Amino acid sequence: MIDLEKTKAPLVAAVVQLSSQADVDENLARAEHWIAEAARAGAQLVALPENFAFMGEEVDKCRIAEPLTPPFGLIGSTIVRAATRAGVFVVAGGMPEKSGDQTRPFNTSVLFSPEGHLLARYRKVHLFDVDLPDGTKLEESRGTSSGSPADLPVTELLGLGLGMTVCYDLRFPEIFRALESRGARVVTVPAAFTLTTGKDHWHTLLRARAIENQIFVLAPGQTGKHPRGRQTYGKSLIVDPWGDVLAQVGEGEGFAIARLDPAYQDKVRQALPCLSHKRL
């Protein structure tokens, strides 16, 4: 549990929107660029979207999967370098981490410190297996191992409890309630939301999770067209505990930045004390 009494100072956070492809080196260069840009704009925490390092064929994803233990591989070491150069915390939103099954790595979100230390990692629990009306067919479980629902880290970051999820987890409110119960004041939702579902559900679900749990939600997303016929929605955004959108990225790559004020969050929780009324 996080000691909420220690929560004082606001946190300046940024969400980065990317259009990642199959070229890992180029994707990582774009991620480094936007981390540096967000830091120059004053961000203390920068969140990258799901699949920031790679969106391509499953066989190639397995090939580039790496363990998250020092010395890190190409992906991990690149984010460490970006975090230390920019002097910011980075949530590397979803990368292929080696698992016990060589054909099914984890989809893992990782929190690095400004000193390059791995502070927390979350392995995506809910995997996206769907046939959408537009003909899109995705079977994430065929090429990805699921994380354990018992492993939901909440990390104290500059006095705020930070919880982590990935994309499809957004549709399962119980994971957000569990994170809030463990002290999360901010929850990251890195995503590669499809265009079909994003245009109807993205904003609504993010605002609902923020309102229900009176938390800040950071939702960096993928945008545009990708290999294998994928098209993602974008609209990366930051939502406050009242459900208001504080900042949003427009079209294409970029970042949005906002000040997360825990004093305002406390006022919301005091004015509408629904969290103290929980019965389940």
Residues with active-site annotation: 50, 124, 167
- Determine the Cα–Cα distance for residues 19 and 234; give it in Å rounded to an integer: 9
Q: Which two tokens stand for residue 148?
A: 């354990």
Alpha carbon of residue 86 to chain centroid: 19
- Determine the Cα–Cα distance for residues 175 and 211; give it in Å rounded to an integer: 14
- Determine the Cα–Cα distance for residues 174 and 167; give it in Å rounded to an integer: 14
Alpha carbon of residue 43 to chain centroid: 16
Q: Identify the burial level of 223 via C-beta atoms within 10 angstroms of its C-beta, where 0-12 means exposed, 13-18 middle and 19 or more buried.
A: buried
Q: How far is CA 199 from CA 196, 205, 211, in A?
A: 6, 11, 20
